[in-house]
Amino acid sequence: MDKLHLMTVFVAVAEEESFAGGARRLGMSPPAVTRAISTLEERLGVKLLNRTTRFVR
């Protein structure tokens, strides 16, 4: 995945405060969104989102 795509996924998830919401907005599956965020976090070496059972921040 290229950096622009990963950043687009990150912005959608952050704005929707949800992996499922970000996935819906981008027309992706929730597992694909989760993988994209994990890939971005690994590449940057930092945790970008705080996850709970109800939302993402």
Angstrom distances, CA of residue 20 to CA of 45, 53, 56: 24, 12, 10
d(CA 4, CA 29): 18
DSSP 27: T
CA atoms within 13 A on the CB side of 13: 28
d(CA 55, CA 18): 5
Are 43 and 5 within 8 A, CB to CB?
no
In words, the CATH class of domain 3-44 is: mainly alpha
Q: Encode pLDDT of 13-35 as tens digits.
A: 999 999 999 999 999 999 999 99
pLDDT band at 57; cut points 50, 70, 90: confident
